[in-house]
Amino acid sequence: MRRPVSLYGLTFSLPLLIWQLLFFVFPLLFLVALSFWTVKNFVMSPDFDTVNWTTMYGRAVFWQAYGATFALAAGAAALTSILAFPCAYAIAFKLSDTARRWAVFLMVIPFFTSYLVRVYSWQIFLSDNGIINVMLGWIGLGPYPLLNTVGATMVGYLTLSFPLVVLLQLFSLVFIDRTLIEAAHNMRCGRVRTVFEVVIPSARVGLVIAALFAFILSFGDFVSPIYLGGGDPTTLSILITDTTKSGQQWPRAAVIALTMIGTLMVVAFAAVQFAYKGKTK
């Protein structure tokens, strides 16, 4: 093989490495150090004290938020995956090549619109005098309190991850070997059954990864729980913003952040294991 180390090679590989070390890895490591600092009279000082960890982990509020966030994110991942699948499936198998290209293009657009603006827009739909309640009023229903509910938070999470999940699912579905589907049909496997016996197992990696991304995005999001969910239940991300705002409690916010990262790593690892392993079920 070629010699891996040369000035030429380093010119291309080092800049990103240095940048991500300096501004990605170090900040995260610094967060670890920060979690052991102490705060006295609104002033942080370097220290090695586990007080932040014990304080946070000793609080019921923290664990409630943790449970709520985890449940919400897991729910969002499941809901998004289930709602996205028929859409991705239909795009993959029921549209012409041209229509499919357009569908993909349209699904990419939301990535380049501000998530904040879309969340605000949902407020217009969901508020007490909003579009949905006005329309329900026409047929003599409502008004229902839609905003500041868990349902509204879910709408926000869907706004955040639905397009990505559809695209990831679609990506794994279009690469399914069509002859596998034909072979299943050929062996008495009907339409619906083929989806569960062949399509889903074939696309398994993509489907799991898509759900994982929905989980990651929802788990860390603070916009939907605040501006659509009304801050109730308190999620970890809300807790972080609150903690940072209140009296320089950065070290405690670091504890929350690190706990979130730890959780995400465990979930991601488990998901990847589940996706790739056990092909024999």
Positions in 201-260 near other proteins (CB under 8 A): 201-202, 204, 213, 216-217, 219-223, 227, 237, 240-241, 244, 250, 253-254, 257, 260
Q: How many CA within 13 A on the CB side of residue 253? A: 18
From residue 278, alpha-carbon distances to 200, 207, 268, 281 in Å are: 15, 15, 17, 5
Among all chains, which residue has been given the structure tokens 């991942």? 77
3-state secondary structure of 202: helix
| Complex with other proteins: residue 81 or 237, whichever CB lies closer | 237
| Complex with other proteins: residue 16 or 60, whichever CB lies closer | 16
Of 43, 60, 191, 277, the one binding other proteins (CB under 8 A) is 191
Mark 119-138 with x for binding to other proteins (rule: CB under 8 A) and - for no binding. xxxxxxx-x-xxx--xx---
| Complex with other proteins: residue 28 or 266, whichever CB lies closer | 28
Burial (Cβ within 10 Å: 0-12, 13-18, ≥19) of residue 214: buried
Residues 48 to 87 in contact with other proteins, rule: CB under 8 A: 83-84, 86-87
Of 80, 159, 169, 172, the one binding other proteins (CB under 8 A) is 159
Question: What is the 8-class DSSP label of residue 195?
Answer: I
Q: Segment near other proteins (CB under 8 A), from 10-18, 47-55, 141-149, 269-277?
A: 10-18
Q: Segment near other proteins (CB under 8 A), from 48-56, 60-68, 183-191, 269-277?
A: 183-191
3-state secondary structure of 39: strand
Cβ–Cβ under 8 Å, residues 211 and 80: yes
